[in-house]
Amino acid sequence: MKHGPETGKPPSADKSASSVYLLDTSALLSFIEDEEGADCVEQALKQKETIVPWPVLLEMYYITLQEEGQSEADRRFALVKQLKVNIPYDMDEATVLTAARLKARHRVSLADAIIAAFAIRKDAILMHKDPEFDALTGLLKMEALPYKDK
C-alpha cells in the first residue's frame, strides 16, 4: 500500500509535517464506503486543511444517486458538508486555464483535469485511487490509494 509521497507512511505518521490534501472522488468514496485506503483518507482529514473541490461533490452525488438512490446521495452530501474540509466552489482564471491545459495534453476526463488543476493551484497532495491520474505523474503531488481490482 502506498502512503505518504515522501515517507511511505500514512499522512499523520510524521507529526512535524502538516500537508494539505485534496481528495478525489475515488478517495472520498473509499472513505465513505470503508474500502481499502479509507484509513489514509481518515488521516488526511485530520490534517490542518483538506480540500474537497466542487467537482468531487458533483461526482460523488451523481454516482451515489445512480447506484444507491436519492436518499443515500443526499445523506452522503450532508456527511461531506459536516466534515472539516475546505470546499472551493469558485474557479479562478488560472485554475480554469490549468485544467484546460491538462485536458488538452493528457488523457484525463474533464472532471479529473479540474480536480488536478485545483490540486496544482492549491499546492496540495491529490489523494486518489483512480488509475486515470497516472497520466499526470510528475505534474503534481499525488498519493495513490490501492486501486480496485477490476
> What are the pLDDT digits (tens) for 50-84?
999 999 999 999 999 999 999 999 999 999 999 99
- Using one digit for the tens of pLDDT, what is the confidence trace for 25-58? 999 999 999 999 999 999 999 999 999 999 999 9
Q: Is the pLDDT of residue 133 over 80?
A: yes
- Model confidence, pTM: 0.85
* pLDDT at residue 27, rounded to an integer: 97
| Distance of alpha carbon 115 from the chain centroid | 7
**123: helix, coil or strand?**
coil
Q: What percent of the chain has pLDDT over 90?
A: 85
SS (H, E, C) 19-55: CCEEECHHHHHHHHCCCCCHHHHHHHHCCCCEECCHH
For residue 87, is pLDDT > 90?
yes
Specify the DSSP class assigned to residue 83: S
> How many angstroms separate the CA atoms of 132 and 9, rounded?
23
What is the predicted pLDDT for the residue at 150?
Answer: 59
pLDDT category at 23 given cuts 50, 70, 90 is very high
Distance CA 48, CA 74 (A): 27
Mean pLDDT of the residues in the chain = 90
Does the pLDDT of residue 96 top 50, yes or no? yes
Query: Distance (Å, rounded) from C-alpha 37 to C-alpha 21?
Result: 14
Which string of b and e fits 30-45 if b means at least 16 CB within 10 Å? bbbeebebbbbbebbb
